[in-house]
Every structure is written in structure tokens, then in C-alpha cells.
Amino acid sequence: MSRFSRSALLAFCTLSAASLRAQTRGISDADLLRIQVVGGVAIAPAGDRVLYTVTGWEHPNARADTVLGDRHDRRSHVWMVPFTGGAARQLTFSERGESQPAWSPDGRTIAFVSARGAGTGDDTPKPQLWLLPADGGEARQLTTFRDGVVAFAWSPDASRIAVVTPDSLTREQEARTRRRDDAKVYEGDFRLNHLWVVTAATGAATKLTSGGFTVRGAPSWSPDGTQLAFDASPTPMIRDERRDAYVVDVASQRLDRITTNSNLQSTPQFAPNGRMLAFTSHPREFAQHHDGISARTLRNDELVLFDLGTKALTSHGHPTFDVSAGQPRWSADGSAIWFSASDRVYNTLYSYTIATKRYATTTKDLMVHGASASHDGSRMAFVMDSPGWPSEVFVQDASLPHPKRVTTTNAWLAERQLGETRVISWKSRDGRAVEGILLLPVGYREGMRVPTLVSAHGGPTGAWTNGFKGSAGGPGQAWAARGWAVLYPNPRGSTGYGEWWMRANTGDWGGGDYRDIMTGTDEVVRLGVADPEKLAFEGWSYGGYMTSWVVSQTSRFKSAMMGAGLPSLLSMAGTTDIPGYINTFFGDPQYDGSIINPNIRKYLERSAISYSDRITTPLLILHGGNDERVPIGQPMEFYRALKDRGKEVELVFYPREGHGLSEYYHQGDRMKREYEWIAQHTIGAPKATVQP
């Protein structure tokens, strides 16, 4: 795999955007809902064509005035584009959309998942596997699994497909569910996923696995088609992060458990010669609770190889390679393994040469979201985005000195002006370097001081990246169009900066991470960009926690929005669906009758609700009505504490929504409501705003 030329790619992206952009106006909230997202890239075995998905909002039943029209649904469809570029062609058009496109190994057939047919409510069609001739023709339904297809993988000879599907309810269980006689035992009554093998020609299906584990994702076939490798957990609970590797013999259904330490972090992949498996793993540091589940360990995921002949398990992690490896893929000749990983404000492709035991970067300072290689490895396709353009398909082979963009999915964006994005760094109070992204207003001139929004990312094990800042969940370019700058800091606790930085806010939420963000705000003021009298703050999830903490510790921000935030950590630890993640940072709550002990004191001291009396910043709280990650008690507790003390606060729930907002009108409302609140309280703008 040749190394990408960053300068050439940046020049290409810049020229493409500059040559097309008529610069009529900036991006609006409505534009952000219009943007279609490219993903699911899959290059043909011969390398001549590339499949990908395009996801966007559709409103097939809308009336003439779509603003007042019927419900919008978010759907994806499968497209194909030649490797050499040219006209892209949409292959699928069904009412509920399609996903997971995959070529058969012989290149003759395209498989995808789609829920087709009539029915609503309990009778809504389930997602099934469909097969489409690659050279044209009608798609045919292959599977009829009662509860649909979760994931799948073609066999090497294209005669069979391994399918992951949930175990079906018994007829009595299904009848009880339909009549709403469906009481649920908390953390019980699990539906487990298992493996089946389906014959591509006839649809005949054979179940391969059963028992007390749930298969996590698409398996990997051995090159001779006799075995399948997969990873599984004892339960499907999101807090159950125990994962082990298994190999099942397709003919005899004999199951071998490859690992027993439950440290697996990715799906095992067969080497091209069938002798080894590659996957990632990291050790666990915390003792198990009585149910066998422990707090999450914050360590880099290391590359591991398992020799199927000798049963030897070898870690290929190295102290000098301070990167958390992603899902590994083998090179065509088996000499190397490649994967993507978070790398500062980028997502980078890495390769590992087995003979020399050396890691190398394949891309640099680029945002690579997906990658797919041809059968011989000579050609690759990628999904990438940049600050100046949303995700598109890129390709590269030995004849191309740099990746070539072969799709233009949102051509209308050429008519919009964008704010400039800069990667900046600063020193925190302890001298540590911190990095972030600064988005400038459209048409910004050096020396102008502008209203500035500081946005904290979720996680905290996450990071802001130097990609396109234009989505309903991160509408930075819409703020830039209105004359605002946006600072996206990556404080300690963020991923992509090495293991120490990722672990640096353990037991210290609201400490070093808070100071990193405040010094970043100071830096943007020092640079002459931010108006210190017109600062605002916002964040979602952990970013919502940070928002609550910021307004409880300083009054420098004129307004704030807390999205899905957790201002009351002690109650959060006992109600969230990921208690082990909270325990990672603060330990298990110490409920031994001592009432106020050092552990409980830490939970209370780092909870914003404990400082409600001192809060003066007008606060907007947004939350999904069905959020299990950060349960609705969190915003309710904080709202009540603030409201009863006469603070300026507003709480909005979005019905049916979980931890993020997935519905069209809710996404639009969030953007409009947040901007109006912050603009009103920060720059004195009237509540009713007009889109730029």
C-alpha cells in the first residue's frame, strides 16, 4: 500500500471546491439536513468498480410544502462508481433503504441488507439479505429469517453466506409480545445473536452456533471455506465488554474457544494462508463484579496474532507505538496487516509488517473513515472527508500519485461559502500541550473579534477531528455562516494522543480537562479571534457534563447548552446502561454505611449539581426522552435544582429519542433552539432568527 501524498490531496480538494463554489452564502440549518453522507465503501475483487452507500433524509409522502409535509425517514441506498471515475449509478431504490453492500468473491453478485414489503407495527418487514447481479438485473431475496439479518460474510467460493441473526422467540413468547403481555426482567430475557450459513443458490439455511453467548458482528471465513472465526460475549448488554474469539467448523459445527481472558477488542480475521488469526486486545485492570462484568480498562488496543497450529498467542504491541489499533485487515500476500486508528485530529491508516515487526503510517493528516482493498491488494477505495467537503469516495493504485476523488455527492455545496478551519495548540496550566480545532466565521478577516462558541466533545474517550463541520449533531459551519467562531478542544481524556493522555482525567473529571479547555479559550482570545465578552459553551454527553461543570465553576460564558449531560454523577453511576464506564473514572460507589466517605465525596465534588447555588449562566438543557445512556433523571435533577433557586434554565425533552437525536424535526429543532438561546443571551439577538 503506497503512502498518500497529503499535499497533493489537499490541493485536489481545494481546487475542486474553489473551482465550483460560487460563494453565494454560508450553510444554513436546512442545508445541514440536506447533506447526504457517503459510507459503506466496498471495492470489487477485480478493482474495477466501487460500491458505496449514500444516506440522507427522504420524505416520499410529503405534500407540496415539505416544511409542513409528512414524516421524514433517514435511509441509505447502494451506489456504484467506476474505479477510474465517471458517472456514479444508484443501484437500489426501495422504500426502507438498503445497507451493507458487499461483492461476492467472484465479482458477479452484490449482496445487501434491506427490509422490503408491506406491514407496520409488529408486522414491519425485517431486514433480509438480497442478491443483485453485478452487471444488471433484478434483486432477489435470499433469506427469510424471522428477526432479520444483523451482519453477513460471503464464503471464499461465493457459494454460501454466513449470516448473524437473533434467536427467534417461541410462538408463545411472540404471542405474548403481540398482546402486550411482555413484562421484562431487567438485565435478563436476553435475545442472543447466532451464526447461520445460507446457500446462495437456494437460500437453504443451517444454524452453526447456539448456547450462552451472542455473536458480535460479521465473521471471517477461512480461505478454504471450512471454518468461520468470530467474536462473542456472554450477553448483549452494552456494559458487558467481555469478548472472546471463537472458531467454528462449518461441516461438523465443532466450536473452539480461541481466547479465554475476555480481552478481545475486534473480530478475528483469517490470514490468507489460513494459519493465523489477527485481532486486537488489551488487558483488564479491574476486578470483576459478582456478575462477572468489570469496569472498563482504558488502554491502547494492541495487535495480536494467534497461530492455529501451535495455539500460540502473540502480542505485537510495542511501547514506542502509542496508538490504539482498530479492526485489523490482512494484506493480500499475508505479509502485513493494516488498520485505521485515531491520530490526533485525524483518522490514519497504519500498516504492520510481520517480518520486521514495524508499524508505519500509510496516510498522514487525513480523515479516512473506511477502506477496502481489491483481491490482489493493488487497488484501494476509501471514504474520506475534509474541512472543505463532506465524505466522498476516493481511490488509489500504483498509477496514482495521490488519492483520486471519484464521487461528488453534494454538488450543490459548491454554492455555499465555508468558514476556514485551523488546527491550533496551546499550553495548559501544567505546561502540557493541548490541541484543538478553530473554525472561523465565513469571510473572517484577521484581527476581527467575533462571538465564539466553545464545544466540548463526548466520551471523554473521543476526539474532535479535522473533518467537515456540517451535520445536525455538529453544525459548526451554520454557526460560521452567522458570524461565529467555534473552538473544538481535545482536552486530556481524549483519544488519539497516546495512552497517557487518554487516561489523564481518570478520577479527575472537571480538573485537568476543565483547565485544558479554559486555557484553550484564553488562547483564542489571545489570538484576537474571540471576543471575551461574547463567549458561549455547549456539549453533548460527556460534553454535556463539561457544560454543566463549566457553568458551575465560571461565569465567563454568557450562555450555555447542556445536551444529554450528566451533572449528578452519583445517581448517574447507578442508573446508566454503562455503569462500568463511570466506575472506570471514579470507582464503584462506596455504599458501606459510612455515608460520606472519600469515594462518595469525590462523586459529589465533581458533580455540577453540588454547586447549583453559584450558577449564573443561562442554561438550555436538551435531552432524549428515552435516553438509557444518560437517563432522564440527570436533566430533571439539575433543572429542579436550578429552577427552585431562581436560575434561568429551560429543559426540553425529545420524545422517543435515545442518547442522540435521530428524527428529522428533532434535529432541526435542536439546531434552531440552541442557536436562538445562545445568540439571545450572548449577543442580544432576538429569539426569532432568520436563516442566513
Q: Mind listing the pLDDT tens digit for each residue in 305-344?
A: 999 999 999 999 999 999 999 999 999 999 999 999 999 9
Q: Is residue 62 part of a domain?
A: no
**What is the structure's pLDDT at 630?**
97
pTM value > 0.85: yes
What are the contacts of 239-247 at 24+ separation with CB within 8 A?
239/293, 239/577, 239/578, 239/579, 239/580, 239/581, 240/293, 241/293, 241/296, 241/580, 242/292, 242/293, 243/216, 245/277, 245/279, 245/306, 246/209, 247/277, 247/308
Confirm if 660 and 538 have CB atoms less than 8 A apart. Answer: no
Same domain, 321 and 421: no
Same domain, 562 and 467: yes
**What is the structure's pLDDT at 69?**
55
Segments in the chain below pLDDT 50: 1-5, 7-9, 11-22, 64, 66, 68, 689-692
**What is the structure's pLDDT at 249?**
98
Same domain, 499 and 643: yes
Q: Is residue 213 part of a domain?
A: yes
**Residue 298: closest CA among 543, 462, 458:** 462
Of 281, 303, 330, the last residue of a domain is 330
**What is the structure's pLDDT at 18?**
45
Q: Bridge-partner residues for 649, per DSSP?
A: 619
**What is the structure's pLDDT at 688?**
56
Same domain, 520 and 634: yes
Q: CA 513 to CA 168: how far, in whole Å?
A: 46
Domains held by the chain: number? 2
Sheet with 276-281: strands ordered across: 269-270, 276-281, 302-307, 313-315
Q: Is residue 355 part of a domain?
A: no
**What is the structure's pLDDT at 118?**
87
Same domain, 289 and 430: no
Q: Bridge-partner residues for 130, per DSSP?
A: 112, 141
Same domain, 461 and 325: no
Same domain, 670 and 534: yes
Confirm if 383 and 366 have CB atoms less than 8 A apart. Answer: no
Q: Is residue 393 part of a domain?
A: no
Of 275, 296, 330, the last residue of a domain is 330
Q: CA 221 to CA 179: how far, in whole Å?
A: 41
Same domain, 595 and 496: yes
**Residue 659: closest CA among 618, 617, 682, 629:** 629
CATH number assigned to the domain comprising residue 315: 2.120.10.30
Domain that holds residue 203: 106-175+188-330
Same domain, 324 and 454: no
- Name the DSSP letter for residue 243: B
**What is the structure's pLDDT at 154?**
98
Q: Is residue 344 part of a domain?
A: no
Same domain, 442 and 301: no
Same domain, 164 and 300: yes
Q: Is residue 457 part of a domain?
A: yes
**Helix 512-526 × helix 542-553 angle, to 10°:** 70
Same domain, 115 and 244: yes
- Name the DSSP letter for residue 202: T
Supply φ then ψ for residue 571, to 5 degrees: -70, -30
**What is the structure's pLDDT at 23?**
53
Q: Is residue 98 part of a domain?
A: no
Confirm if 606 and 586 have CB atoms less than 8 A apart. Answer: yes
Of 295, 330, 365, the last residue of a domain is 330
Q: Is residue 395 part of a domain?
A: no
CATH number assigned to the domain comprising residue 507: 3.40.50.1820
- Name the DSSP letter for residue 124: P
Contacts of 152 (CB under 8 A, 6+ apart): 100, 102, 111, 113, 129, 161, 162, 163, 164, 218
